[in-house]
Amino acid sequence: MSGNTLGQNFRVTTFGESHGIALGAIIDGCPPGMELSEEDIQIELDRRKPGTSKHATARREDDKVQILSGVFEGKTTGTPIGLMIHNTDQRSKDYSKVAETFRPAHADYTYTQKYGIRDYRGGGRSSARETAMRVAAGAVAKKYLKERLGIEIKGYLSQLGPITVDHVSWPFDNDNEYFCPDKNKQEEIRQYMDNLLKQKDSVGAKISIIAKNVPVGLGEPVFDRLDADLAHALMSINAVKGVEIGDGFAVAAQRGTEHRDEMTPEGFVSNHAGGILGGISTGQDIVAHIALKPTSSIMTPGRSINTEGEAIEMVTKGRHDPCVGIRATPIAEAKVALVLMDHFMRNRAQNGDVIPPVMDLAHPET
């Protein structure tokens, strides 16, 4: 299959291009009986929406989501939930020049090679605009996980270029334009970004995600481990180039005595593993990190070629996020929600509703 479906039991399939008529998604398998309104979804879409800060793209995306099916008298019915967002701001003229060129670090070249044809308006299917539907679908999963299982999923900006946010203790506030939990760093980021715009450049970022109250036992060995499916879901977010679980790449330099999370009758004494052992959740916090490359569309000219293979100079006009990583926070939360929801259902298929934990070692908190 062609890759536009995520999940085995809670399945999300999406369609839509940046400047097409609409974006849409079908959620197949949502448990019945959950209250669900468009507002429940809109609230997450608004968190992802650009234009909330001067550093985000000025493109207005109304992103008003519509529920087309699967909800009756305010509740999910168990039948497929059709979601749609009309593209109200198509502005295809702005992108017409792109048709004959391959923008560096974009998917223009690869889509053309793969399919022999591409919708060149605003990146077409490869545009980050497509992630709106992932956030929409993720909102449904998030709601179920929170209401039925008490799971909370929250991400934050842990690095932007040279600026790092070292430690975050739960609960933390990511409700600001940078999803930055450290108020002291927000001004620093703002200045860095202002400077970046003047330099006509962009920068990468690192996002961290924590999922709390995940029950022990989610994840299917050996291929569809919880960490493997998280890696799949997170790496498929536009611009992501790296995924870590728990201590991530730091483990390459760790000793076994240092890394192993010892257990006592009171619980795990540490969480280097990021809440997953043998591909299965331990009940501790799930901790994941992702790295996102700098925005590819920048106003500093770069070398490229046109579709005739001739050398050209590329300059991206229009305003673009100088750091796409920032807005990835709600997207990453959505992807984690989709994976956990799917694994909750996969586990329930095989093991039934209630597995009384032999013992609960989740604590202490991360």
Site for a second copy in 321-340 (CB under 8 A): 322, 325
**Angle between the 38-48 and 131-149 helix axes, to the nearest 10 degrees?**
120
Residues 146, 358: Cα–Cα separation, whole Å = 23
Residues between 23 and 42 that touch a second copy (CB under 8 A): 23-24, 26, 28-33
171 vs 265 by CB, closer to a second copy: 265
Binds a second copy by CB under 8 A, chosen from 136, 230, 328, 340: 230
Contact between 125 and a second copy per CB under 8 A: yes
Binds a second copy by CB under 8 A, chosen from 50, 138, 246, 330: 246
Contact between 88 and a second copy per CB under 8 A: no
Q: Do the beta carbons of residue 20 and residue 87 sit within 8 Å?
A: yes
- Position 119, amino acid: D
Q: What are the structure tokens assigned to 155, written together?
A: 């991400």
Does 103 show up as a binding residue in the annotation?
no
Does 283 show up as a binding residue in the annotation?
no
Residues between 347 and 366 that touch a second copy (CB under 8 A): 347-355, 357-359, 361
- Position 281, amino acid: S
Residues 150, 277: Cα–Cα separation, whole Å = 21
Residues 211, 45: Cα–Cα separation, whole Å = 19
Residues 329, 177: Cα–Cα separation, whole Å = 11
Q: Do the beta carbons of residue 85 and residue 23 sit within 8 Å?
A: yes
H/E stretch holding 192: helix 183-198
Contact between 47 and a second copy per CB under 8 A: no
Binds a second copy by CB under 8 A, chosen from 214, 291, 326, 328: 291
Residues between 164 and 193 that touch a second copy (CB under 8 A): none
Question: Per CB under 8 A, which region of 36-44, 123-131, 139-147, 171-179 contacts a second copy?
Answer: 123-131
Contact between 197 and a second copy per CB under 8 A: no
Does 208 show up as a binding residue in the annotation?
no
Please, which residues have CB within 8 angstroms of residue 251's CB and are 6 or more apart in sequence? 259, 272
Contact between 244 and a second copy per CB under 8 A: yes
Contact between 195 and a second copy per CB under 8 A: no
Contact between 141 and a second copy per CB under 8 A: no
